[in-house]
């Protein structure tokens, strides 16, 4: 039994086995830093590379992230104050008038998998609710989603509200009708055309 | 005669799947946003309605009764008698229609991408008026009109520029009333619209198993106005629906039946077209795909199943592509889809002229799709076996080695063939001599020639005024 078994369990998308192996390593006296870096983060890096190369599918990547988080929860108390586990804080939601959530949820899950702390506000979210949450969470990023062409103006209204309240968080936009030109037009900090690109963009905007 | 004999299912599989659909609606049910009138109509019809939580379940006998109330044959109206669409199409083939709600536009000349404008929609309607294989039209999302009333403006542009049937996708609950008023104006009044429904309404589920307030209102008001409802389920396999083909067909069919039940509960006999417009989720990016082989298979399988199990008119994408441009991939995808959906028996093939998963329109692509659809309809008409078609006497009167070019039989039948408009069959030398034009060049020539001519359809000035008055009222009411 080694840390490599945790690594392999993450790659096998087996959350229960990850938890079991982390328990075993802790009982063997392995340091939480080693478990974190070599057992939990390293396989996700590998998964990320495979995903970028088109060798891993989204459900597999999400399953790996869930398996990793299972192990992470076990060691989180001991890591507090030692490691900054959070890549950044993201508030995400589908804008007012739009009830579509799957694309937005996908981005949220992938951001979580990449180490971001994500607050998912759901669908049909008022500009004021985005603002409130961004303030409370001290968000680094606010991510706005829309599927309907008709709700694109709500994106602009939300962004305007955030800027008027002097929120410093970067604002990302995405969704079927949105493009870079629209993002530029309304003054968003970034646009991503799919979930993996959103993660790359979020990291880049925060200098990760 | 009907030529479609292709099926994914055995009769016992159809029976089993039918039972599963009814069982899903009886045990799992669907969730409705608050809509007191719809809840009451459903409860009165015998559905199990939880008004607090919005869950509605349909006991099997109730669903079977409501299914019987839905007409199997009806017409989509139009403002010219020869444009009225009898469902199912009497010759056993299908009708074709254009995209709804697309917001991007590929300029015919430079092939540049930009946002759709009202002038583009006018040109689009003009094109549809002329294209013989495109039987009806939907409005696009024009970016130069108020967003709150973009649907009302869109329908008004269609009604002013083409007499063909319009299918209508409302963008908000508030606009439903104005869209129906536009339909009434075009048809000549409320009762005239009920008799000759020049518009049909799109209602959608929010997969999985949920319905928004706007769509409930569409069903409610449309049923009250005796308008045909195109009940659309647009699940994405692996995302908003099970990843497996059978699972997504099950879900789409159940959602469509739920909408049918709502329509019948509000007004028995409301015409419903089943639209299982199934997507697949790209497992590498999460994007919705209309032209993956899995999406093709599920959508065509759903059409086959719904027709066999419930005998309802069906409607699906029968054209379109995931490619953002009119390239080889796009042409291949749309030709495969048209053929597959035609042979599956879909009564309506949608998506003509659309690119990039139904978000972008190309007038030149629409002209090419018109050609492909015409060829497939020709194919679907089947093979006639009669004394004349067997040409026994002609064969008997022709010696070995002779030809048939000068026979009266050939003269009589030489125009039976599909005559290509923009497809060409030149020799290489001929092609070079004519400027090495490809199908896009020829489609552009057709487009330019058409746009130089006057629109054959002239909207009555009284109707123009009435349309403008309704649009003005919608703007006043809906723009905050």
Is B212 touching A (CB cutoff 8 A)?
yes
With 90 as the cut, is the pLDDT of residue A84 above it?
no
Q: Tell me which residue in B147, B286, B359 faces A194 most closely, judged by beta carbons.
A: B286
Sheet order of strands, B48-49 included: B48-49, B55-57, B30-32, B210-211
> If you average pLDDT over residues A169-195, what whole number do you get?
90
Q: Tell me which residue in A59, A153, A176 faces B283 most closely, judged by beta carbons.
A: A59
**CA A144, A145, A148, A151: dihedral to nearest 10 degrees?**
-20
| CB contacts, 8 Å: B212 with chain A | 99
> If you average pLDDT over residues A126-144, what whole number do you get?
95
How far apart, in Å, are the Cα atoms of B171 and each of A98, A150, A204, B80, B388?
11, 7, 36, 27, 53
Q: How confident is the model at residue A151 (pLDDT cuts 50, 70, 90)?
A: confident
> If you average pLDDT over residues A74-103, what whole number do you get?
81
What pTM value is reported for the model?
A: 0.90
Q: Tell me which residue in A54, A176, A196 faces B359 most closely, judged by beta carbons.
A: A176
Using CB atoms within 10 A of its CB, is residue B426 exposed (0-12), middle (13-18) or buried (19+)? Answer: exposed
Is B279 touching A (CB cutoff 8 A)?
no
Distance CA A91, CA A140 (A): 8
| CB contacts, 8 Å: B288 with chain A | 176
| CB contacts, 8 Å: B141 with chain A | 149-150
pLDDT of residue A176: 80
Residues A14-45 have pLDDT tens digits of 999 999 999 999 999 999 989 988 999 899 88
Please tell me the distance in Å from B147's CA to the nearest CA on chain A.
6
Q: Which residue of B has its CA nearest to A154?
A: B147
Cross-chain Cβ contact B285/A195 below 8 Å: yes
Please tell me the distance in Å from A64's CA to the nearest CA on chain B.
15
Distance CA A108, CA A91 (A): 9
Give the DSSP letter string of B190-255: HHHHHHS-SEEEEEE-BTTTEE-HHHHHHHHHHHHTT--EEEEE--EETTTB-SSHHHHHHHHHHH
Residue B354: enclosing H or E segment and its boundaries? strand B354-355
pLDDT of residue B1: 44
pLDDT of residue A83: 56
| CB contacts, 8 Å: B285 with chain A | 58, 194-196
Distance CA B295, CA B279 (A): 5
pLDDT of residue B3: 55
Centre a 10 Å sphere on the Cβ of residue B193 and count the other Cβ atoms it contains: 23
> If you average pLDDT over residues A113-128, what whole number do you get?
90
| CB contacts, 8 Å: B281 with chain A | 58
Cross-chain Cβ contact A149/B212 below 8 Å: no
Centre a 10 Å sphere on the Cβ of residue B105 and count the other Cβ atoms it contains: 24
Sheet order of strands, B354-355 included: B113-115, B104-106, B360-361, B354-355
Tell me if residue A44 falls in helix, strand or coil: helix
Cross-chain Cβ contact A57/B284 below 8 Å: yes
Distance CA B316, CA B298 (A): 11
pLDDT tens, N- to C-terminus, chain B (480 residues): 455 568 999 999 999 999 999 999 999 999 999 999 999 999 999 999 999 999 999 999 999 999 999 999 999 999 999 999 999 999 999 999 999 999 999 999 999 999 999 999 999 999 999 999 999 999 999 999 998 899 999 999 999 999 999 999 999 999 999 999 999 999 999 999 999 999 999 999 999 999 999 999 999 999 999 999 999 999 999 999 999 999 999 999 999 999 999 999 999 999 999 999 999 999 988 889 999 999 999 999 999 999 999 999 999 999 999 999 999 999 999 999 999 999 999 999 999 999 999 999 999 999 999 999 999 999 988 899 999 999 999 999 999 999 999 899 999 999 999 888 999 999 999 999 999 999 999 999 999 999 999 999 999 999 999 999 999 999 999 997
Q: How long a stretch of residues is chain B?
A: 480
Cross-chain Cβ contact B284/A59 below 8 Å: no
Size of interface A-B (CB pairs under 8 A): 45
Distance CA B374, CA B457 (A): 23
Is B226 touching A (CB cutoff 8 A)?
no
Residues of A with CB under 8 A from a CB of B: 51, 54, 57-59, 97, 99-100, 102-103, 106, 148-150, 152-153, 176-177, 194-196
Is B103 touching A (CB cutoff 8 A)?
yes
Please tell me the distance in Å from B389's CA to the nearest CA on chain A.
51
With 50 as the cut, is the pLDDT of residue A6 above it?
yes
Residue B207, token pair as written in the block: 């997969």
């Amino acid at each position: 039994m080694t840390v490599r078994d945790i690594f392999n369990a993450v790659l096998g998308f087996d959350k229960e086995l990850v938890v079991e192996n982390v328990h075993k390593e802790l009982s063997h006296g392995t340091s939480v830093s080693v478990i974190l870096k070599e057992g939990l983060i390293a396989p996700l890096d590998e998964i990320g590379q495979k995903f970028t190369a088109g060798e891993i599918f989204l459900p597999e990547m999400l399953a790996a992230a869930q398996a990793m988080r299972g192990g992470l929860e076990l060691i989180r108390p001991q890591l507090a104050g030692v490691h900054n586990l959070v890549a950044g804080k993201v508030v995400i939601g589908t804008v007012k008038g739009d009830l579509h959530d799957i694309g937005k949820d996908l981005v949220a899950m992938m951001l979580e998998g990449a180490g971001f702390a994500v607050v998912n506000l759901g669908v049909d979210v008022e500009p004021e609710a985005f603002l409130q949450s961004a303030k409370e969470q001290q968000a680094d990023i606010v991510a706005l989603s829309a599927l309907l062409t008709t709700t694109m103006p709500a994106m602009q209204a939300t962004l305007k509200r955030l800027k008027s309240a002097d929120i410093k968080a970067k604002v990302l936009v995405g969704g079927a009708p949105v493009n870079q030109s629209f993002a530029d037009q309304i003054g968003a900090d970034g646009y991503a055309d799919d979930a993996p690109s959103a993660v790359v963009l979020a990291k880049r905007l925060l200098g990760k | 005669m009907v030529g479609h004999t292709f099926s994914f299912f055995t009769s016992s599989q159809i029976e089993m799947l039918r039972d599963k659909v009814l069982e899903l609606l009886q045990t799992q049910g669907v969730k409705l946003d608050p809509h007191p009138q719809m809840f009451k109509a459903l409860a009165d019809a015998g559905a199990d309605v939880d008004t607090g939580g919005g869950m509605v379940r349909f006991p099997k006998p109730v669903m079977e009764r409501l299914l019987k109330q839905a007409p199997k044959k009806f017409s989509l109206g139009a403002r010219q008698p020869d444009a009225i669409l009898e469902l199912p199409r009497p010759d056993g083939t299908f009708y074709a229609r254009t995209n709804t709600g697309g917001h991007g536009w590929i300029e015919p000349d430079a092939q540049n991408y930009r946002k759709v404008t009202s002038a583009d929609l006018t040109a689009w309607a003009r094109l549809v008026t002329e294209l013989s294989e495109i039987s009806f039209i939907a409005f696009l999302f024009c970016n130069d009109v108020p967003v709150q009333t973009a649907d009302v403006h869109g329908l008004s542009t269609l009604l002013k520029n083409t007499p063909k049937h319009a299918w209508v996708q409302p963008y908000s609950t508030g606009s439903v009333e104005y869209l129906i008023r536009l339909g009434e104006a075009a048809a000549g009044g409320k009762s005239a619209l009920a008799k000759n429904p020049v518009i049909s309404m799109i209602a959608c589920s929010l997969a999985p198993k949920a319905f928004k307030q706007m769509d409930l209102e569409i069903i409610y008001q449309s049923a009250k106005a005796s308008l045909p409802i195109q009940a659309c389920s647009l699940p994405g396999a692996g995302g908003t629906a099970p990843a497996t083909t059978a699972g997504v067909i099950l879900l789409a069919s159940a959602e469509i039946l739920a909408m049918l039940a709502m329509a019948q509960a509000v007004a028995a006999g409301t015409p419903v077209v089943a639209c299982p417009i199934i997507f697949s989720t790209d497992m590498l990016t999460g994007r919705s795909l209309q032209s993956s082989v899995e999406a093709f298979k599920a959508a065509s399988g759903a059409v086959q199943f719904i027709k066999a199990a419930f005998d309802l008119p069906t409607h699906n994408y029968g054209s379109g592509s995931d490619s953002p441009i009119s390239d080889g991939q796009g042409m291949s995808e749309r030709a495969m889809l048209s053929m597959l959906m035609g042979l599956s028996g879909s009564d309506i093939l949608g998506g003509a002229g659309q690119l990039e998963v139904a978000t972008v329109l190309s007038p030149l692509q629409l002209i090419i799709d018109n050609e492909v659809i015409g060829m497939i309809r020709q194919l679907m008409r089947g093979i006639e076996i009669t004394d004349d078609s067997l040409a026994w006497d002609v064969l008997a009167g022709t010696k070995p080695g002779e030809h048939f070019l000068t026979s009266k039989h050939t003269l009589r039948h030489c125009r039976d063939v599909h005559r290509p408009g923009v497809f060409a069959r030149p020799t290489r030398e001929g092609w070079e001599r004519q400027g090495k034009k490809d199908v896009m060049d020829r489609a552009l020539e057709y487009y330019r020639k058409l746009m130089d001519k006057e629109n054959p359809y002239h909207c009555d000035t009284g109707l123009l005024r009435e349309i403008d008055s309704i649009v003005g009222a919608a703007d006043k009411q809906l723009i905050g």
